[in-house]
């Protein structure tokens, strides 16, 4: 998503610099399977609440910028729904152009792919090899950066005690739905 950011016109970069996006897994699930994920239950919403991230992230090197957007992007805080939907769609279309894509061709047993989720939008495709089995593993490295847990959850590695029942407790304070863009960024 770094290359996609660099490929944006300067006026768009300026426009999106301080925007905050609500990311919600239920949004992407509804887009993918509207009949199955029409309306999550209150319990499901509580278990997987939205997360809020700056649309333009700065890499740990403090220099490079990257787009932080994918199919979970539901809306841009403080923007009318129609404008928000249009901008999200335009940015996704831009980021999904062939010049910003890498496709892995599995060739050898033991091939390995790794990526940095902070600057990569990824998706799985069907595994076509009928002779071999795919063995998938995942390693997650804790991100100590200021945007790692989103705008509302500015946690540090030492603050993991805020986990309650396996999820981050963000119950204190007003919700991003009731706040302006500036209030969220000030958190």
- This prediction's pTM: 0.69
What are the residue ranges in the chain where pLDDT is below 70? 26-28, 31-34, 123-124, 127-129, 142-187
Q: What is the pLDDT of residue 186?
A: 44
- Rg from Cα positions in the chain: 18
Domain at 36, CATH number: 3.60.130.10
> Do residues 22 and 50 lie in contact, with contact meaning Cβ atoms separated by under 8 Å?
yes
Per the domain annotation, does 100 fall within a domain? yes
Per the domain annotation, does 117 fall within a domain? yes
- Residue span of the structural domain in which 85 resides: 1-129+148-153
Q: What is the pLDDT of residue 147?
A: 59
Per the domain annotation, does 42 fall within a domain? yes
| Continuous H helices in 23-80 | 25-32, 42-47
Domains identified in the chain, total number: 1
Candidates 122, 123, 172; CA nearest to 152 is 172
Per the domain annotation, does 19 fall within a domain? yes
User: What residues contact 99, with CB distance under 8 A and at least 6 apart?
Assistant: 3, 7
Per the domain annotation, does 182 fall within a domain? no
What order of strands is seen across the sheet that includes strand 73-76? 51-54, 20-23, 73-76
Per the domain annotation, does 158 fall within a domain? no
| Continuous H helices in 107-176 | none
Per the domain annotation, does 30 fall within a domain? yes
Q: What is the pLDDT of residue 146?
A: 60
Q: What is the pLDDT of residue 178?
A: 44
CA 59/CA 147 separation, integer angstroms: 10
Per the domain annotation, does 162 fall within a domain? no
> Do residues 56 and 67 lie in contact, with contact meaning Cβ atoms separated by under 8 Å?
yes
């Amino acid at each position: 998503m770094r290359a996609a950011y660099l490929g944006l016109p300067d006026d768009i970069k300026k426009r999106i610099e301080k925007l905050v996006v609500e990311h919600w897994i239920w949004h992407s699930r509804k887009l993918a399977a509207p009949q199955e994920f029409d309306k999550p239950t209150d319990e499901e919403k509580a278990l997987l609440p939205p997360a809020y991230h700056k649309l333009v992230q700065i890499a740990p090197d403090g220099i490079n910028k990257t787009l932080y957007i994918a199919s979970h992007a539901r809306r841009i805080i403080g923007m009318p729904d129609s404008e928000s939907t249009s901008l999200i769609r335009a940015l996704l279309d831009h980021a999904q152009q062939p010049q910003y894509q890498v496709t892995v061709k599995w060739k050898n047993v033991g091939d390995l792919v790794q990526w940095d989720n902070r600057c990569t939008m990824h998706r799985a495709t069907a595994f076509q090899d009928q002779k071999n089995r795919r063995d998938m593993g995942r390693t997650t490295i804790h991100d100590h950066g200021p945007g790692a847990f989103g705008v509302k959850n500015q946690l540090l590695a030492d603050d993991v005690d805020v986990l309650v029942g396996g999820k981050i407790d963000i119950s204190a304070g007003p919700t991003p739905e009731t706040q302006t863009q500036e209030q969220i960024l000030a958190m």
